Amino acid sequence: MLKTALLLVNFMIAMALLLSLWRLIQGPSLADRILALDTLYINSIALIILLGMYMGSPLYFEAALLIALLGFVSTAALCKYLLRGDIIE
Amino acid sequence: MNWTELAISFFVLLGGLFMLIGSIGLARLPDFYMRLHAPTKATTLGVGSLLIASMLFFSIKNSMFSIHEVLITIFLFITAPVSAHMMAKAALHVDTQTLERTQGSEAHQAATARKSTPSEADLANKQEGSES
């Protein structure tokens, strides 16, 4: 039963990734694209955690933690670029 | 079918549902300030619930209490509001278009007024330039 639930949720998160990719391509403003990138990295964290549960290996947490750290830093850098026109002044 | 497997499946399904709802909101809502709500709230909750499921799964599988998933949860719960606030400030600064019925237009007008009037530092720079 757990395998079925994991496959179903895998499909749902793939749909979520496609929807945020659509917003990333279509987004009318720059802030929309930053928001779509933010959603994409959170969705990929969920996908990696699901993969770890499916394979039964705890090695995937380090990858998820790294993606969380670097995703926040990239969102902060992009917002800083929009606000100030420069990342490190 | 034992009840631990049922609980893990419940949390996994709940997390997937929240992630899907957040991304549907991101794709369908009409305005940036409305779209900002959907992913930053629902998606964080979805990842938290998936991490609870994975904590249960690995605690039962290895018969040892697994706690290091809490790191990702704490980190996401701290950084999601911070990044939402930074994105809202950036959107105010680049003058993103809003709908008529979006509330809080005072903040938008204040941001555009702040941008059109030169700040004190700009004025000081200009005076120095004219003197020299």
ipTM comes to: 0.89
pLDDT of residue B110: 74
Global pTM value: 0.83
- Burial zone of B88 (CB within 10 Å; 0-12 exposed, 13-18 middle, 19+ buried): buried
Q: Is A50 on the interface with B (CB under 8 A)?
A: yes
Q: Spell out which residues of chain B touch residue A29, defining contact as CB-CB under 8 Å.
A: 32, 91, 94, 96-97
CB contact under 8 Å between A42 and B44, yes or no, is yes
Does B122 fall in a domain? no
pLDDT of residue B116: 63
pLDDT of residue B121: 58
Average pLDDT, integer, range A22-34: 88
- Out of A5, A16, A72, whose CB is closest to B9? A5
Domain residue limits at B35? 3-100
Q: Residue A1: is its pLDDT beyond 60?
A: yes
CB contact under 8 Å between B86 and A76, yes or no, is yes
- Tell the residue number behind the tokens 């809490």, with chain if given: B70
Fill in the amino acid letter for B106.
Answer: E
Does B131 fall in a domain? no
Helices B44-61 and B69-93 cross at an angle (nearest 10°) of 170
- A80 to chain B, closest Cα gap in Å: 8
| Segments of chain B scoring below 70 in pLDDT | 1, 104, 115-132
To the nearest 5 percent, what fractions of chain B are helix, strand and coil?
80, 0, 20
pLDDT of residue B92: 85
A48-81 residue pLDDT tens: 999 998 888 888 888 999 999 999 999 999 999 9
Stretch 14-43 of chain A: residues touching chain B, C-beta under 8 Å: 15-17, 19-20, 22-23, 28-32, 34-36, 38-39, 42-43
Does B77 fall in a domain? yes
More confident residue, B52 or A86: B52
Does B126 fall in a domain? no
Does B50 fall in a domain? yes
Where do the domains of chain A lie, and which CATH numbers do they carry? Answer: 2-84 (1.10.287)
pLDDT of residue B115: 65
- Tell the residue number behind the tokens 């993606």, with chain if given: A67
Does B39 fall in a domain? yes
Give the A:B interface size as CB pairs under 8 Å. 153
B interface test, pick of A25, A26, A33, A61 with most B CB neighbours within 10 Å = A61
Q: How many domains does chain B have?
A: 1
Coil, strand, or helix at residue B83? helix
pLDDT of residue A89: 74
Q: Residue A24: is its pLDDT beyond 70?
A: yes
Does B121 fall in a domain? no
Does B46 fall in a domain? yes
